[in-house]
Amino acid sequence: MVIVLVILMISGNLSFGIAKAQAASINNNLDLTKKVTSVLTPINSFLNVNTESSALVTSPEGYLAKPLVTETQVTPERTVSRTQAAVSNIKTVAKPRAKLASTPGNHFAYGYCTWYVASRRNIPWFGNAGTWLIGAQGAGFATGNVPQVGAIIVTSESRWGHVGIVEGVNGDGTITISEMNYSGFARITSRTISVNYGAIKGYIY
């Protein structure tokens, strides 16, 4: 029984000592906290911020401090939509305009000899230049082997044939013709050839 009482007294003293030590530790922490907070300066006085001026000010430690008002100012940027940006980068290119014949019903492809002749004369038939003599006869046009000013000359100068307009009949046995696509695509040129030139197939009047 005596041993039990002694043990209880020792454990009670031990628990009391631990509690006392914990209380002392808490008091020390509270004292330290009070000392730290007593020396702290409000942030406004520490930075010495002048909200009415954007000039830099000096902190107590000698570092440069910039007012928070100017630090956080945001300059709004002009936003441009992707569509506007794309449109602003687009360069306008004029579409090539189709060249119209001076006579109605020109159903031939531009740039070729047939188109040029059909822009000078009314041609109701179709087909490559090499078939024009037959086409003209079928449409009731007169054909022959004698050159005349204004007549259509038909030659075999390509696998598809070639046509032009007789511009002049010269006294030296030559004729002057105008044509397209002889010296370059869609180019209108003229030349003088002999009436006896072997490639001539005939004329359409």
Grade residue 110 by pLDDT with cuts at 50, 70 and 90: very high
- Torsion, Cα of 144, 147, 151, 157 (10° steps): 80
- Backbone region of residue 150 per phi and psi (left: phi > 0; alpha: psi in -120 to 50; beta: other values): left
Q: With b meaning 16 or more CB within 10 Å and e meaning fewer, what string describes 76-104?
A: eeeeeeeeeeeeeeeeeeeeeeeeebeee
Q: What is the dihedral of CA 192, 193, 195, 196, to 10 degrees?
A: 170
List of E strands, the chain: 57-58, 64-65, 143-144, 152-155, 162-169, 174-180, 188-194, 200-204
> Would the pTM count as exceeding 0.85?
no
Write down the pLDDT at residue 95: 32
| H or E stretch covering 142 | none
Indicate the domain borders of the chain. Answer: 1-40, 42-72, 113-204
pLDDT tens, position by position, 54-71: 444 444 554 444 444 444
What pLDDT sits at residue 105?
Answer: 72
Please say whether the beta carbons of 167 and 178 come within 8 A. yes
Q: How many C-beta atoms lie closer than 10 Å to residue 163's C-beta?
A: 27
Rounded distance, CA 70 to CA 51, Å?
A: 8
Name residue 177's beta-bridge partners.
166, 191
- Report the C-alpha gap between 166 and 177 in whole angstroms: 4
| Average pLDDT taken over every residue of the chain | 72
CATH superfamily to which 113-204 belongs: endopeptidase domain like (from Nostoc punctiforme) (3.90.1720.10)
Residue 73 pLDDT grade (very low, low, confident, very high; cuts 50, 70, 90):
very low
